[in-house]
Structure formats: structure tokens, C-alpha cells
């Protein structure tokens, strides 16, 4: 990282952001072309959980395997300064990498979907019918590395 004073190494800060960010961006290598999609997600114990329809460009790429890169952030206030070049925005962001695994077994999908539902809806018993599960899939990304940067 170029500006060391902005680096935040604490795993706790990263996990807090992964627990509160609303949107994750998943970057993939689609045959040499970069491809990024914003998605909803959940985080538990070193893994990110996504859900998706069964078809589409993203799923085709994820099924092929290979590392993906992800990013989440929380943006705060614009900091107005006396000169334009010093204006900034408060933020904290995490960038990480991991191997995606497509999950199609319904029981394991339910576990992943619960992580996502809890992320947005809190703890509750959630019901996922067989019919709706057969129209979707879950992707688990086991995080191999992540970094964090904060500007406050």
C-alpha cells in the first residue's frame, strides 16, 4: 500500500465492515476481460456468501473457478478544506481475494442464504422452498487474503 499511514491491519475492523457493508463488488477475469458486478452478500467465519440466478455471465465465469477479487466500503462525510486538492471523503474499505465455490446442494444453499438474510434482516428463522432453491445457486468465497484502508 502506497500510503502506509492509511493502512488498517486489524482483522476486527475488516470483519466489522464485512458485517455492515450493504453491497459487495465482485471482480472476475472473464477470459482476460475484467468483469465486475455489484451484489448483496453475507459474511461468516472467513467466507463470503452470495446468491444468484443459475445463468448469466457472472455464473459462467464463477463456475470456471480461479481467484476473484472483492471490495466493500463505507463512505462518510466529505471533508471540505481550504484548497480543492485537500478535499477528501471519510471512508473505510476492504479489498480481498478468494476462490469461489458454486453451491447447488439445497441444504448447503440454505446455510449460505441464512448468512445473507441475517446480514440484512437480523436473526430469524427463514424458510426457503425447494421450488425457489432450484431457481438459484449460492457462491461461497473462502477469503485467502484481504487488506483494509481507512481515511478518517
Query: Is residue 121 close enough to count as binding ligand FAD by CB under 6 A?
Result: no
Binding mask 23-42 for ligand FAD (x = CB under 6 A): x-------------xxxx--
- 51 versus 140: smaller Cβ distance to ligand FAD: 51
Among the listed ranges 9-17, 47-55, 125-133, 143-151, the one in contact with ligand FAD (CB under 6 A) is 47-55
Min separation Cβ 5 and ligand FAD, Å: 32
Binding mask 55-84 for ligand FAD (x = CB under 6 A): -xxxx-------------------------
Query: Is residue 140 close enough to count as binding ligand FAD by CB under 6 A?
Result: no
Query: Is residue 13 close enough to count as binding ligand FAD by CB under 6 A?
Result: no
Render the chain in DSSP notation, one character per residue.
---GGGB---HHHHHHHHHH-S-EEEEEEETTEEEEEEE--EEETTEEEEEEES-SHHHHHHHT---EEEEEEEEEEEE--SSGGG-EEEEEEEEEEEEEEEE--HHHHHHHHHHHHHHHH-S------HHHHTTEEEEEEEEEEEEEEEE-
Residues near ligand FAD, by CB under 6 A = 23, 37-40, 51-53, 56-59
Amino acid at each position: 500500500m502506497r500510503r502506509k499511514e492509511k493502512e488498517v491491519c486489524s482483522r476486527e475492523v475488516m470483519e466489522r465492515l464485512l458485517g455492515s457493508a450493504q453491497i459487495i463488488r465482485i471482480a472476475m477475469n472473464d477470459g482476460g476481460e475484467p468483469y465486475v458486478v455489484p451484489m448483496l452478500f453475507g459474511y461468516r467465519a472467513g467466507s463470503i456468501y452470495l446468491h444468484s440466478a443459475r445463468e448469466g455471465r457472472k455464473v459462467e465465469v464463477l463456475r470456471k473457478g480461479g481467484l476473484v477479487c472483492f471490495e466493500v466500503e463505507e463512505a462518510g462525510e466529505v471533508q471540505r478544506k481550504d484548497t480543492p486538492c485537500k478535499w477528501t471523503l471519510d471512508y473505510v474499505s476492504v479489498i480481498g481475494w478468494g476462490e469461489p465455490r458454486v453451491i447447488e446442494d439445497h441444504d448447503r444453499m440454505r446455510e449460505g442464504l441464512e448468512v445473507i438474510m441475517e446480514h440484512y434482516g437480523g436473526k430469524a428463522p427463514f424458510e426457503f422452498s425447494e421450488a425457489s432453491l432450484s431457481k438459484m445457486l449460492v457462491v461461497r468465497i473462502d477469503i485467502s487474503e484481504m487488506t483494509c484502508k481507512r481515511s478518517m
